[in-house]
């Protein structure tokens, strides 16, 4: 079957456009290469993967530089700002690195032993810090540091709008949102 004059013209124009696109693409890749090997996205430490490197920036109000580090952490563990500092290192010598000021948003509830523990409120009564909590559907009021909430959960300490608890799963801190 013979092609009409219109079809032949369309094929010629299409071929020319395709050829120009291929030449343009090759020129961009060869001449505008940018050098270096390409890196793919993947887990840090794997060859060919991108991992953000710490970037020093100037701290607030011209203070010391702040290094931004991007890393994952367990979302159910207490934020680093609430973990007690000054603990001894494995070698027995105390750690003395300066700690940056961190502002963390901590939720007032978590799951402990399959039950939801919610920090309802913190308050001072008679000069003693106290909290009201809810463990699933049971509300416990007027707890002081050192008292048991129930079901293996113990209130360890109260600091301002935050309370630290312990259980068989470990220690965690809950805070009232501002």
Q: How far apart are CA 46 and CA 103, in angstroms?
A: 32
To 10 degrees, the CA torsion angle through 119, 124, 128, 131? -10
- List, for the chain, all residue ranges whose pLDDT scores fall below the cut of 50: 49, 51, 54, 87-97, 99-104
Please state the domain extents for the chain: 109-175
Q: How far apart are CA 86 and CA 162, in angstroms?
A: 20
Q: Is 60 helix (H, G, I), strand (E, B) or coil?
A: helix
Give the pTM: 0.42
């Amino acid at each position: 079957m013979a092609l009409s004059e219109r079809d032949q013209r369309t094929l010629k124009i299409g071929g020319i456009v395709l050829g120009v696109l291929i030449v343009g693409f090759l020129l961009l890749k060869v001449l505008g290469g940018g050098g270096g090997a390409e890196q793919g996205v993947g887990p840090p430490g794997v060859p060919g993967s991108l991992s953000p490197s710490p970037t020093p920036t100037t701290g607030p109000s011209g203070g010391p530089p702040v290094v931004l580090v991007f890393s994952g952490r367990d979302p159910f563990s207490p934020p680093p700002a609430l973990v007690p500092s000054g603990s001894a290192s494995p070698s027995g010598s105390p750690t003395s690195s300066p700690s940056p000021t961190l502002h963390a948003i901590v939720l007032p509830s978590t799951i402990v032993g399959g039950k939801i523990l919610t920090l309802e409120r913190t308050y001072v009564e008679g000069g003693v810090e106290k909290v009201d909590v809810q463990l699933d559907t049971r509300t416990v009021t007027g707890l002081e540091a050192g008292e048991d909430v129930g079901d293996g959960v113990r209130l360890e300490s109260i600091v301002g709008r935050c309370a630290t608890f312990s259980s068989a799963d470990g220690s965690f801190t809950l805070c009232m949102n501002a």
